[in-house]
Chains A and B, each alone.
Chain A
Amino acid sequence: MKAETLARLRAARSERRPVARVVALDGSVDAVVEDGGGPLPEPVLDVARAALKQNRSHDFEHEGGRWFVQVFNPPLRLIVVGAVHISQPLIGMAGSLGYDVTLVDPRGAFATAQRFPDVAICDEWPDDALEALGVDGRTAVVTLTHDPKLDDPALHVALRSEAFYVGALGSRRTHAKRVERLVEAGFDEAAIGRIRAPIGLDLGGRAPAEIALAIAAQMTEALYR
């Protein structure tokens, strides 16, 4: 590995940028793929881009030689807005799925360490919290408060970001009103269409843990499909 490759991998990781390293296993090629580009033939770049999307390092053949692509994705992150009872099972499931989870709720009585012992809690207003955390393409944002004062500011930041998943709890009627507010705030149809609402895969369950499972399943689908 070239010293330059090592330096670029470390810089990308410290800034939460997804990056892949491609190496020919005879040692003749050593390159970094970032933002979908790099000093490599197009078919090799395709392999690297797919590997990043699938988060899977693997060997492959190219023009008779064996190559290897190693994926260095930032850790997955979930930002949950609203310390409600769906949040509790969702935080547990997301932890098992490998997410770093942050719970955002400025209402002090909701997000207490007693109710949520195993998660980073942020009591800032949701838009400030999301701006500070920096929402990127390895981040999922889920709003669960039912309160437009809290959910909408979080959605504003999420829809301007590259978040791979944006979900908002609420019925179709609630969501229709939400869409009206977002249009008024200047968001176009494509941006608003990114919101998963009603949230979660349609599994039929209504208990908090069942809704959490539907959300976690939909996040997983969004990540890989």
Chain B
Amino acid sequence: MADAAVGEADAILDRAAAWAAAGRGVALATVVKTWGSSPRAVGSQLVVDDAGAFEGSVSGGCIEGAVVTEARRTIEDGEPRLLDFGVSDEEAWEVGLACGGSIEVFVEKLA
């Protein structure tokens, strides 16, 4: 896992830099805490641009859509966001964190 995680971190940072250099608005989403069984480790990242393009993952596909939506708001207003997704949260169930864990994601604008 270590090698894969390291390679992935590089890919995210490179993508963030490339998108910023191309003049796009960019946000980074990072898993800062997990409880129970969660598909991605703390530190996993997703990079999002102002059009909603993204690379990387914070959950293996369950909540990326919701994170991208929030990330676009952060790109717009510049405010960081701390997002909670978990089994106790009805909406989170609906967006599909069916793996039985919960995770917290920090979203920030690249500025």
Q: Which stretch from A39-47, A66-74, A166-174 is at the chain B interface?
A: A66-74
- Are B3 and A100 closer than 8 Å at their CB atoms? yes
CB-based contact A10/B80 at 8 Å = no
A75 within 8 A of B: yes
Q: A interface, how many residues as a size bin?
A: 20 to 34
Contact with B along A72-96 (1 / 0, CB 8 A): 1111100000000000000000000
A27 at the interface (CB under 8 A from B): yes
Say what secondary structure dominates the interface of chain B. Answer: mixed
Binds A, one of B27-35, B53-61, B93-101: B27-35
Other-chain contact of A98, B3, B14, B16, B106 (Cβ < 8 Å): B3
* CA distance in complex: A72, B13 (Å): 11
Question: Quick check: B9 and A72 within 8 Å, CB to CB?
Answer: yes
B76 on the A face (CB < 8 A): no
- How many angstroms between the C-alpha atoms of A75 and B82 in the bound complex? 29
Q: Which of B22-51 contact A (CB under 8 A)?
A: 28, 30, 32-33, 41-43
The 8 closest A-B pairs by CB, nearest first: A98-B2, A57-B43, A27-B80, A68-B32, A75-B6, A59-B32, A57-B42, A59-B33
**CB-defined A-B contacts under 8 Å, sample of 25:** A1-B110, A1-B111, A2-B110, A6-B110, A9-B13, A13-B13, A23-B108, A25-B32, A25-B80, A25-B82, A25-B106, A26-B80, A27-B79, A56-B42, A57-B41, A57-B42, A59-B104, A68-B32, A68-B106, A70-B30, A73-B6, A75-B3, A76-B2, A97-B2, A98-B2
Give the A-binding residues of B (Cβ under 8 A).
Answer: 1-3, 6, 9-10, 13-14, 16-17, 20, 28, 30, 32-33, 41-43, 79-80, 82, 104, 106, 108-111
